[in-house]
Amino acid sequence: MELTSTPLNRTGAYDQGMKTTQQIVDSIDSRLRELNREIETLDAARSALGSERASRPTPRPRVAAGTQTRKPRRRRGRRKSTRPADVVPSGRLELLLSENGGMTTSALAEETNGDRDQVLTLLRELESAGKIRRSGQRRGTRWHAITDEDRIRERAAELAARRRRAA
């Protein structure tokens, strides 16, 4: 069995000294033909050694030079729900949060049969209005209703800070 040598300046799929696109394409086609011949030689050597067909992996189909096509890339992302979503009033979110304590955006959307993005928008609006607060980060984010006790605690902390600054 004879191994083919590659030029020293070839570092990838084609010779780096090539200047035109056609030269690069011809070089790649030539290399594909060489590799297909080498695959055939290796397959023949394996069968000559008597390996069983069942234990050997199925060979990949050979690609004719210049006819290879690119597979379409799979798009990753959140799959949209197929269930119809209801319009969720912000009062309903406030009520759920005051009854249940900390809840995630997804749990709130599921509980109200609403769209997650719409629920998140409403939650952010309620947060900026000072009616709810969030704890945690990213997937661990929980939403909480701001109670009278929370407001009293916040005001007491504010007054204590003023007293310390004045003293």
Q: Residue 150 belongs to a domain with what CATH number? A: 1.10.10.10
59 and 100, same domain (yes or no): no
114 within domain boundaries:
yes
Instruction: Say if residue 110 is exposed, middle or buried (CB neighbours under 10 Å; 0-12, 13-18, 19+).
Output: middle
79 within domain boundaries:
no
Query: Which candidate, 114, 75, 82, 112, places its Cα nearest to that of 97?
Result: 112
Q: Which domain holds residue 110?
A: 90-166
134: left (phi over 0), alpha (psi -120 to 50) or beta: beta
State both tokens at 49: 């050694």
97 and 145, same domain (yes or no): yes
119-156 confidence digits (pLDDT tens): 899 899 989 998 888 888 888 889 888 888 888 888 99
71 within domain boundaries:
no
54 and 94, same domain (yes or no): no
Domain count, the chain: 2
Higher pLDDT, 126 or 16: 126
60-69 confidence digits (pLDDT tens): 666 565 555 6
- Round to whole Å and give the CA distance between 84 and 70: 37
85 within domain boundaries:
no
34 within domain boundaries:
yes
Choose the final residue of a domain: 63, 81, 101: 63
Q: For the whole model, what pTM was predicted? A: 0.46
2 within domain boundaries:
no
pLDDT of residue 70: 65
18 within domain boundaries:
yes
142 and 97, same domain (yes or no): yes
116 and 152, same domain (yes or no): yes
59 and 96, same domain (yes or no): no
97 and 160, same domain (yes or no): yes
